[in-house]
Amino acid sequence: MVHVSRAQSGRGATTNRTSARFNLKAREEDGDWLDERELIDGAAPRPATTVTIERPKTIISYNNSPDIGFDRSVNPMRGCEHGCVYCFARPTHAFHDLSPGLDFETRLFVKPDAPDLLRRELAAPGYRCRPIAFGTNTDPYQPIEARYRITRGCLEVLAETRHPMTITTKSDRVLADLELIAGMARDGLAAVAISITSLDPKTARTLEPRAPHPERRLAAVRRLADAGVPVHVSIAPVVPQVTDHEIEHLVERAAKAGARGVFYLPVRLPHEVAPLFRAWLEAHHPDRAAKVMATIQSIRGGRDNDPHFFTRMRGQGPWAELLRTRFDIALRKAGLGHERMALRTDLFRPPVLPGQQMSLF
């Protein structure tokens, strides 16, 4: 089997190996899914993006993880064209006999029925309102949202039912729905986190090749804040020896842009993400690849990844403690605290489905 193993313009992963975790048959990389056309300027072939319609039966996903601040989420899409090489969601593509590598960022799935499914699930008699999180698996404002507007449709349902929600995104495309989000925020029903990993354009271009420029994301923070939306900045992930030197500057810029708070997460490399990240290091930072992985392993208990609750989000050991200390000092200097996104749930009104009788109260 031949594997793509080179850095590709506009893509994050350097390989497209399938997963062996589920005993799936290996696939040959052929012309059915790779765009083999040479670019006019002679650049290397670039994989094309394909979008498949998916028809799930439900749309709200629930979790009981003790170190996550939400218990339910909605993901209007599967896969993400932003191509962030470190994305912890990449292994989910392996469940479907697709590669967590290039397939994850080129073979996308959209769920056009998501708004209708959401309305139906919110109308269920036993439903109990708690904030719904968007952007927990793949970005709800990746480029294909401009075409399909599925996230927008879901937000309209939540606005209609006065249901709280949070959005995490690396894209200033969230501003397309600013009026709707700001209206919900005025009632304490919406908060947004903008993820910014690096302010250096070259670093951002290789780490997250199809995400908007970092300055555009900071500008989105300012516009959201000016519109009255509680907005935070997520420095996620911090990559030791690659982006950690930017922590203080990122916190400072976020505060100046109007962010109410900033949080960070050390890089996580679960399952197939670890070899993808190692290949990325060899392609883009061969001079420090071993040092980067040694530092990550020092944070992760000697392994590439720590799957345990609580420590997986914070890291452990001297390096993790140093990150926490630096971050706390940066927050104090910027005049920021550890504000949480507290949203109201008492305004929720279940939707009325066709054929249902409206409540008298």
Domains of the chain are 50-334 (3.20.20.70)
pLDDT at position 160 over 60: yes
**Separation between Cα atoms, residue 198 and residue 79, nearest integer Å:** 22
Q: Residue 60's closest CA among 108, 142, 126?
A: 126
358 — pLDDT class (breaks 50, 70, 90):
low
Per-residue DSSP letter, 136: S
Q: Residue 241's closest CA among 191, 182, 286?
A: 286
Least confident of 11-20, 28-37, 287-296: 28-37
What percent of the chain is modeled with pLDDT above 90? 78
pLDDT the model gives residue 48: 83
- The token pair at 107 is 């073979």
pLDDT at position 273 over 90: yes
pLDDT at position 78 over 50: yes
pLDDT the model gives residue 67: 85
**Separation between Cα atoms, residue 173 and residue 116, nearest integer Å:** 23
pLDDT the model gives residue 36: 36
What percent of the chain is modeled with pLDDT above 70? 86
Q: Residue 235's closest CA among 155, 309, 348, 326?
A: 326
**Separation between Cα atoms, residue 26 and residue 64, nearest integer Å:** 33
- The token pair at 120 is 């139906």
pTM value?
0.86
pLDDT at position 38 over 50: no
Least confident of 241-250, 252-261, 306-315: 306-315
Mean pLDDT confidence for 300-321: 93
**Separation between Cα atoms, residue 92 and residue 204, nearest integer Å:** 23
**Separation between Cα atoms, residue 276 and residue 27, nearest integer Å:** 18
pLDDT the model gives residue 200: 96
pLDDT at position 304 over 50: yes
39 — pLDDT class (breaks 50, 70, 90):
very low
